Amino acid sequence: MNKITNAVNVLQRFTENENLRSVLDEVRELLLEENQTNIEALCPVGSFDIEERDISDLEYAFDYEVVTGSYCVDGTNYSEDARDTIMDRLDALFDKIDSHISDLEARLPENEEDEKYDKIQGRIEEWENTRDRIQAEWDDFDDADYEPDEVMWNIVFGYSCINTELAQRLGLAVVDIQGDEFLALTGCGMDLSPLFIAYEALEYGYVSEHYARKLYRETDYCRHVMGEKVFNEVMEKLGVSHIVEAAVEKNNQRMKEFDEAMNALAKARDAGQDKNITALQAVSVFLKFRD
């Protein structure tokens, strides 16, 4: 349910007057019409009972453990599931190659002078070289050391459903605290909340109201943090992919107008306008563009 519909439904709970309910229905339709490029207004929203825990005073391996991690192979990190999938695929290829080699060996003439001998032997050697390369790749994955994800922030977040595969895909860690699982950040130094927006959207199909606003106000930043592929999936899941570019253009225009207004005030101040008046005007401009 989008934010506008949700807000109107809340208001309708406070009246049994059918005429007033009808008016509110009309208001909803007008608001939806006016906000056709407003991600915040059209994004499905809901509430989450998120438990936050501070692990700074907990002892790793005794009080909690990180249950997600990766295997590093040739500079690329693979989750345990991804590693197992690749190794299973390599096993299957290995078996097929062995089967090809066995078939060729059965057709190999006993007489090395036979005109077919060199051709078949050459194909056997090609398949053996391929098998050796696959074996070496399989060994690389088999020998890789498992490294638990490094949790970079002491606060972890407990949702009602922890999807480990999705969390890893988004770059989030999963922490187990005495049987209860929580999501944790594996990065720091920047606002990574868009990863939780992505988690809520892809796991539940809706996001928290304050995250809907962030998607609307900081669309490009959310795209940057999530990555283009995940961002597109999130927008599609929320049903707003068709208005993303229009929303970005509108936000860019608002920021341009804001900058122009603030620059005009700065020039007025430099030209001798009373600083207190300039400050009040700046606050007025800020409040105008804040919403």
The rounded mean pLDDT for the chain is: 88
Q: What's the rounded Cα separation, in Å, for the pair 254 and 256? A: 5
Q: What's the rounded Cα separation, in Å, for the pair 25 and 45? A: 19
The pLDDT of residue 284 is: 65
The pLDDT of residue 4 is: 85
Q: Are 130 and 107 in contact (CB under 8 A)?
A: no
Cα 252 to its chain centre, rounded Å, is 23
The pLDDT of residue 289 is: 52
Which of the four pLDDT bands, split at 50, 70 and 90, describes residue 278? low
Highest mean pLDDT among 18-22, 44-48, 102-106, 228-232: 228-232
Residue 140 pairs in a beta bridge with none
Which tens digits make up the pLDDT trace of 163-176? Answer: 999 999 999 999 99
Q: Are 250 and 37 in contact (CB under 8 A)?
A: yes
Rg of the chain taking only CA atoms, in angstroms: 30
Residue 276 predicted with pLDDT over 90 = no
Residue 290 predicted with pLDDT over 70 = no
Which of the four pLDDT bands, split at 50, 70 and 90, describes residue 10? confident
Which tens digits make up the pLDDT trace of 215-247? Answer: 988 899 999 999 999 999 999 999 999 888 877
3-class state of residue 51 by DSSP: strand
How long, in residues, is the chain?
Answer: 291
Mean pLDDT along residues 138-151:
92
Mean pLDDT along residues 99-118:
87
Structure tokens belonging to residue 116: 């077919």
Residue 159 predicted with pLDDT over 70 = yes
Q: What's the rounded Cα separation, in Å, for the pair 156 and 246? A: 35
Which tens digits make up the pLDDT trace of 241-265? Answer: 988 887 777 777 766 776 777 777 6
Assessment of whether the complete model's pTM goes beyond 0.85: no
The pLDDT of residue 32 is: 85
The pLDDT of residue 207 is: 96
